[in-house]
Structure 1
């Protein structure tokens, strides 16, 4: 199943709809309902962008979701009959439940019928990634340069961690090769394209593909060529990948493929390559001389296990990787020794954390000790040193949820203390901090407590220069909306998610507004779950005010959003940020929609918007910012000739006159002087107060 993107995808000016010529058989629909696959998840929702080189079992196409423009790769596997399709689908369904930071799971699975060629296809929807181990190897092969040892160790650790996770669940990958190890970023890889027994034992299809491209089968173990797959066959394939990575600086592609084929029957070729590695002083050659012969034993019963591979590399040879569930294989430091080491002050504790960085049990005790210390002992001047140590620990122990939780909690507490000591302090602005916090979110998507803490940290970080753009580019808008939908019943996630959305938008240049248009649909559903929650309403109004200003609310949504603003003001008239944002949002909508203007003026459910405006003015007439936003709204209402009579009959002139008399010097002239003639020339000012600013105080 070649998923390499070495060949550029052809991108037509206007791609075809992926559903053209495709449909479902009635039995396929029944089967998908039984398996929990939605019949609505069809090819019709995708736009084809191009086709990659064919895989071992089918065609790989790059597609884009028409709704949100997210790219995927869809592998279309032609099935012999409905029995094979059904068997493969049932076998692959459990893979949808896998949760591991270094495994790319299938996004969805479905069966479709191609009426043009009268064939049944199993469709596997995968993540789209531009880079893979295959690309790295080929680039190094072209330049005849050695792959960086530190990078290779880190990537190998991630692959071993992922493969051990699969083998513990009795899952066999069956199709390991460099093109099926995707590079999500320069230091984060994922196994992808896991296969099934039903698909990998299709002899006719394998024989055809082997003739077309012998490279496809060169990674397979000797016994796998006879369709016998086991965990040991995965070990062989991984051994071939490691061999290719450590020898690519002096062996070309054709020679490497010949080597992989020859060692299935004669080990002499491997001995020769290992000898050349030693002569060329390839880094860690002694480890690989011990490791590779044990992984590439012809008899699978004589091959080592994944745990043996981990022991040889990360215990005996002290390889290092950010994915160190592997460090759990090391001997644990006794608790009483760790406690004794951590008895002293902050400086001593930080020193212990640095000296025992690879020991998760020591790190946990150290962080718990720091969290128990009085607040005035944290923060400045220790903040930057503490941040640097914590970020290093989080990278090194990415898979260990408790370490991520305690580290984020400690970051949040220390940051709070630092800002109390110096509100103008520039903290956590380094890009590596953002990268690690995002990485921990991707690694532990199921942890609601971690999500809340990281969102709180990112809300603070986003206020710093350039951070918002980095977070946008990392896809944080989409991430927040996904979690608002998934965890809509978790109040803390919803409030912190809305606050982070606000912080990302308030002073930033929005590069891509598409996700925010989706927010306008999702957020009312979230707020409806908490109809009387004042804090939730305040956070929601803040986001909607910005969405209104940015033009991210569709015309058919105007009236519903305006109703939400009015409802929120009635619910929480004593919340100044809410009232400010609600009237700012209403002004923005009324500026472009006469229907919204009528909605404010004409009495409706809950009463008249003008009566409410009078009440809010009386409540906040000494607050220039609230009064300014009320003026802005009145100016837009007065710009519609059909609404002016209603404004006049409501007795609005005395209010306007009072505002002119009381705020002539403190409000911008356009906010007052232009209300009567219905023209708005003033510039709206956005409050610097976040709708939910007390993140550190809660």
Structure 2
């Protein structure tokens, strides 16, 4: 056997795409590879299979000790084996050669040591470059992890000097039975397929195809023999197509002429070597059709029907009528599903989501004994397997099955981020909101859906700080309806307030929320749950988001918020988080002119108390001084209360000076203090108090510390000018000398 040196291929890898989806398989161009008819198998290069992950292997070439005909028997002396490295025992014994597939020869082999069986697929390549390209494309496929995809355990190249050709060899999982065996068995018995088994299998296949299509990976070779049975109720898809290996039309045509059945599963577009996701849907439709009618059509008749579907749509109508007459199970589903999947014009083909909707929206899958529809446990379990995309494929469309949706949402919430493929698409918001609408009375669904919405929108904002969260009125109305439906659920109130806070950043959303009575609803919840810290914090946060930069539609409910905020702060006197949120809302109310003159003393005192409580919280301090500046600008009475009231052992001006020396290096805090002082200095009656309290020295210090800040210097000069203008009159005789 002649040796042929193969350049090294990098191990592992992947390209960063979720689930190992390869760029080379995304929207693959047309092409199909064939392989010649085999009289005997070429020798294989020996490999040592890695147990932990699929791999590429090379080494000394194996040699065949005999023909690989189907008559070879396990354990017979003449059984050929695949040799290992020189001096090592041979690794595989070849048990039999299976029927050739579309891409090459399949052999059942057995490991010499462990007696574990595998399938080795040999694919003849046009040349070494062709084989290397195929290796590069197949590598990401090896990294797919899904419970219903048969894993390719190893890939290697070999050279056969007898035919002067390079072969690509794939070591795959071995399964004794496939859908093809089930069909042939039922055909011989003239027996119907069990309906429950068919439902479970259909869900598993749909789940797997959705997973692949989400990664833009096409199967392209879907047929009953490529859906194997691991156990009675567990199937796997195998033999995923590879674009590089499916581009040699001449070889494909030779193989299809040898077995015309191979082409019969292909969609009309695939006959011209054009493939899409809908090509897989057509092939799946043919498989479902074969499973449903195997009790009364033989193999040749079934193949002829599949071929006729591409030119004669009426042939499907006739067979559906026959199936109905023979009382084939699930006919109310198949009568809608199969015509949708087997349209001749590709533009008329349904999507995979449409297939799921049709499949699980029919009465066949509903229980006649329960008040609502029910999906079998086996089907529900399958829907919850796999990636985030696979999970959502079913529940996103099974609108009449709350138990599946709830379990799916809980499953998603329990998955780590590396499996979720964050950031999540904002289109999922519509799916979850639809669930909330349809199951409004079920509190668990509302709680779980709200939590999931927070994850979706929260992650979108984390990954892109400029993201504009999509919003429409149905979102807010659904949340408000849920809050009204479950008024005693503090958990739901908190989550809904957080969600409404996110969408309130849209001006249109803010106005709409005011129109539908959100302000009144927040008032109601704050009044009912004054003792609940989380409800109060979420409610105050929502009010802030709702009112900031908003066009106020109705001022009446806003005037009631002052008393409520005062109650909240009085109920939580030592809570700095509450003080910070409360000061923010009071500041907005002052800007909006919602504080009456008789309320000024109470509000000024609330601001001073909050500053005294949280002097070390910069945001709290900023909120409070902004609120005081707004009040003082609008009312001289507010200025009077600012200098006259005392909080603890300090008056308002003493507290202001303490804040300045604490935040002397923070321009934002100093700017808010200066703004307040400038407004205070605009009232002649207040100036003596400012002079007496030492504000002149503070303004001079600000002027010296921030010479480059024109705004701060301007505020400081305004205060100093006002003090100097009135100094001769106000300080000459009546007031004691400043300390």
Per the normalisation by structure 2, the TM-score is 0.46
Q: Is the radius of gyration larger for structure 1 or structure 2?
A: 2
